[in-house]
Structure 1
């Protein structure tokens, strides 16, 4: 699209000639391809300065490796590299892969091309969205959700006009969101049409591989949790809102709003369901009545305990959290004497419990019943879910839902007993059959446990940075002892 009236190097022209050159470039673009014309409009509306010198840095260099390892494409990089390098000219082309926010995570190419790329920020950690660097193969592909080819002077920012680039977005089949962009760039006036087609093909191939992985995970989840989908209008849903299985089966393959434990979710037929967590998925259970409430208790870990009443978050005092934990453990109810004994021990007084129940009812309403004390609603609790998962032998899911002990500050005899039993069961199963991921997850929330750290260091492969971390923590704990 380079105009015949535009000189190749406006910097060498006098001021008047340079202005004419720039005006000709803009005229040629704005009367050229519609995708480029619209991209220029979006970029200018975002305030992009055509005279800026480089893309901005978005990730510190020290953090790039961590962001890469957490990205879904990390394990697919060898395949992408092989696919693109098979056709792209390894002597002149730069391969760039970004995340969904246009932040460069991988950049590979010959040293002379990389030097040119460094000067404009086309390197790891820098951001290439349209709103920060204007029209380019990466940002425009991510803005439109479609492959984009930007040739030379079609770039809005003048320092990029020696470059041509072709980018294609990659969509995660699980979430339906754009998670990456694959791009080929070169300091040439135009890229060969085969390169442009190759970029799109590489993106589609990667999406196919992600879909295969997703389907495998889905089958594992169905095999593990399908027994829960039986009658009463239930649905097994991923943490991203995809319906894996349902009764009725016609809902399978659809989507619901991403659920949250204890919250209410609209089912495909318009009815309301309560979301119950199963570790790696949610079970949606249609409520029998719109008037019946759902209560979810979050009492594990060091965060302030809270309840979700039909999705509304209610902070809890330690005493109220203890009472609710006991009522969740005893769904048939407790007398005042039993409640007093469980909370205060032999020195307790039922009158004190009665006063606390009265205050708790002021927070939660009439779902807190008396004679006996009980909860008249659908109740779910994080510690009960962990207990069920351990009983089913699903230690990996249990440890993911375990951010720490049950009401750590509680001195209630009954709560202490439940807390110690749950922690002991989880630790025992981890040591007997926990994999490296489960052990590592537990080590992040537990106090330095010499046996857990030693087991972790033994199962992690050499070269894994987590192995070094486990060994250092174990050595430090031994010195402290």
Structure 2
């Protein structure tokens, strides 16, 4: 078994291994010294189960739903669509290994059970059947209940089960989560007699759970696209006013004039008023499927405007609502990285971007504290660190112009290297990327005005290729042509 501690009996000798675990089980429950300690995950599960008054000698899984009720639960359960892929992945292997596949809901109720006929008959004798509940609080330590309690894949072998009735069984289970909310949907389990245990079963069940989650993500993406297509007219009807389309659980699917939005808006069933994390107010209106978020212009207008002019070989400048704010180079670097990452950065990530591998999150937290004192806590927010102002940064304007192929706008906004004195790894990388991108598109454009704008920057002044291009494209009679040729001769000399 993949999880066993070094030195214990090998599962290749399942009977000897089971005897060891039985001795451990009996000793621990009797309060006498044991041959060794149970695994930590098993010990913690035993403690939870005993605290719930599960009897190791007489415990039995309760039957909660009859067959008709189980069929109804199956039809409504989110894991129903992935049953075919689970059958394809697990059932044939379970048959060959004299095991069975089990799928539960998040509360531990068995909804599906398929596998070898002989194992199914034996399982019926211990209530390992559809409609029974296998959470830890009612039947003690078992793979299904323990994986739902911990949220982690687990294998429970023989006498690691708290209830003695199941010491002749081994089981491996993994949780499945909702890709939209992260909530547990249920567990996937493979169970069988002790003598048929296989060391790869836990890895197989874990892979099957991941495959099921992948299928659910693909279905979610298709549903999102359908919802966007069906409801985009509601967003367009806002005529440029700030708003967004939300899924039924509040995820943002499309937005208009909203600035930065969280990935999910905390909504109440039926909609109503909402307050975003940055303080903006809005109203959520239910649609046939999903919601329409309307943001109030009044709230949006209260956001301060942060202007960053960092593309220069001279002193960079920062203004808040037109008021110039003094700042250090390190603060400029932090503002640059936060502007480039509107979703926010953790202290650890920001330290890595600022300083490289030697970065210290403690240093970053201190710098952020000083920056918030200078700019205001309404502009630089925490958890994660992010900008809540309306940001107007020259390097973002250049990026946007390059993205839409507007060479003239990119050349006009580019006035020099991004924070030329910065040695921050991430800022240096961005500086080189922006400069190279602007140079490439300007040269490729053959546009005299764009070439001249770039030549006037510190990056282009002595760039022979730029000057040669100017000499070619500037027409006779243009006074700039003589300047370009004079400078070209100076570079030759």
Q: Which TM-score band applies after superposition, normalised by the shorter structure? A: 0.5 to 0.7
* SS of residue in 2 equivalent to 1:225: helix
Gaps in structure 1 of 5+ consecutive residues: 291-481
Aligned counterpart for 2:232 among listed residues 226, 233, 248: 226
* SS of residue in 2 equivalent to 1:199: helix
**Within the alignment, does 1:65 sit opposite 2:71 as a pair?**
yes
Which position in structure 1 is the counterpart of 2:132? Answer: 126
**Aligned pairs for 1:161-200 within 5 A:** 161-188=167-194, 191-200=197-206
Separation of aligned partners in 2, 1:245 and 1:259: 19
CA gap 1:235/1:37 in 2 versus in 1, 3 angstroms: same
Which position in structure 2 is the counterpart of 1:38? Answer: 44
Paired residues in the alignment total 284
Contact 2:27-2:34 at 8 Å conserved across structures: no
Q: TM (normalized to structure 2)? A: 0.52
**Aligned pairs for 1:41-440 within 5 A:** 41-90=47-96, 92-188=98-194, 191-229=197-235, 230=238, 231-248=240-257, 251=260, 254-287=263-296
Separation of aligned partners in 2, 1:212 and 1:93: 30
Provide, for residues 132-186 of structure 1, a one-character-per-residue CA deviation record: whole Å limited to 9, x for no partner. 1111110111111111111111111111111110001111112321112100001
Contact 2:142-2:161 at 8 Å conserved across structures: yes
Contact 2:94-2:116 at 8 Å conserved across structures: no
CA gap 1:247/1:46 in 2 versus in 1, 3 angstroms: farther
CA gap 1:91/1:199 in 2 versus in 1, 3 angstroms: closer
Separation of aligned partners in 2, 1:26 and 1:111: 41
Provide, for residues 176-207 of structure 1, a one-character-per-residue CA deviation record: whole Å limited to 9, x for no partner. 21112100001115732222111000100011
Separation of aligned partners in 1, 2:212 and 2:114: 18
**How far off its partner does 1:214 sit?**
0.4
After the TM superposition, list the runs of 4 or more consecutive aligned residues in structure 1 that deviate by more than 4 angstroms.
1-10, 18-22, 248-253
* SS of residue in 2 equivalent to 1:257: coil
* SS of residue in 2 equivalent to 1:87: helix
CA gap 1:198/1:249 in 2 versus in 1, 3 angstroms: farther
CA gap 1:204/1:271 in 2 versus in 1, 3 angstroms: same
Separation of aligned partners in 1, 2:19 and 2:60: 22
* SS of residue in 1 equivalent to 2:128: coil
Separation of aligned partners in 1, 2:114 and 2:48: 29
* SS of residue in 2 equivalent to 1:183: strand
Gaps in structure 2 of 5+ consecutive residues: 10-15, 300-493
Separation of aligned partners in 2, 1:27 and 1:270: 58
Provide, for residues 421-469 of structure 1, a one-character-per-residue CA deviation record: whole Å limited to 9, x for no partner. xxxxxxxxxxxxxxxxxxxxxxxxxxxxxxxxxxxxxxxxxxxxxxxxx
Q: Which structure has the bigger radius of gyration?
A: 2
**How far off its partner does 1:115 sit?**
2.2
**How far off its partner does 1:233 sit?**
2.5
Separation of aligned partners in 1, 2:277 and 2:257: 10
Separation of aligned partners in 2, 1:26 and 1:143: 28
Separation of aligned partners in 2, 1:166 and 1:185: 7
* SS of residue in 1 equivalent to 2:107: coil
Separation of aligned partners in 2, 1:236 and 1:279: 12
Report the more deviating stretch, 211-220 or 73-82.
73-82
Contact 1:256-1:268 at 8 Å conserved across structures: no
* SS of residue in 2 equivalent to 1:88: helix
Separation of aligned partners in 2, 1:62 and 1:276: 37
Separation of aligned partners in 1, 2:92 and 2:262: 36
CA gap 1:249/1:116 in 2 versus in 1, 3 angstroms: farther
CA gap 1:67/1:119 in 2 versus in 1, 3 angstroms: same
Separation of aligned partners in 1, 2:32 and 2:267: 47
